[in-house]
Amino acid sequence: MARAKDLLTLDLFDVPTPAPSTPGAMNYAREIAAVMSQALKECAHDRVEVAARMTRLTGKEVSLAMLNAYTAESRETHNISMEKAVAFDAATGGFALLTFYAAKRGCKVMVGKDALLAELGRIDQEKAELARQEKAIKHYLEGKQ
């Protein structure tokens, strides 16, 4: 049996690029439905519980039928709102739609330890740049004496 394509995990070393801005290039209805379907398969809660959690989080009714429509690739007219997308990720306990959105804008989502490791890398780069500047200034000052 063929493995399903993993739409949620990004390559750590892949540099994301923003999606093209040509007309129609950002029609992601089917991709979003697929991402949501995959997230629901990997979620510890069933669809009824996810819909109930989304309802509690938004204060607006999210029925099982609505959730099913959002995840049906054939129903391109049922697009999830940003408010409900945030609630969906929270209800599933994941970051599927956030990751999808970030990737389409040329970004990556890092959470927890990954975010801290990225911050350490940024700090190391800043230290190296400051050391280079310090060396250049000292070299300049030594030449003036």
Q: Following DSSP, what letter does each residue of the chain receive, concatenated?
A: -PPPP-SSPPPTT----BPP-STTTT--HHHHHHHHHHHHHHSSS-HHHHHHHHHHHHSS---HHHHHHHH-TT-TT-PPPHHHHHHHHHHHTS-HHHHHHHHHBT-----THHHHHHHHHHHHHHHHHHHHHHHHHHHHHHHT-
**What per-residue confidence (pLDDT) applies to 108?**
87
The pLDDT tens digits along the chain (145 residues) read 455 555 545 555 666 666 677 777 788 889 999 999 999 999 999 999 999 999 999 999 999 999 999 999 888 788 999 999 999 999 999 999 999 999 998 888 898 898 899 899 999 999 999 999 999 999 999 887 7
Q: Interhelix angle for 47-58 vs 64-71, to 10°?
A: 110
**What per-residue confidence (pLDDT) applies to 144?**
77
Structure tokens belonging to residue 82 = 């940003």
**What per-residue confidence (pLDDT) applies to 143?**
85
pTM higher than 0.85: no
**What per-residue confidence (pLDDT) applies to 14?**
67
Structure tokens belonging to residue 9 = 């995990």
Structure tokens belonging to residue 16 = 């994301």
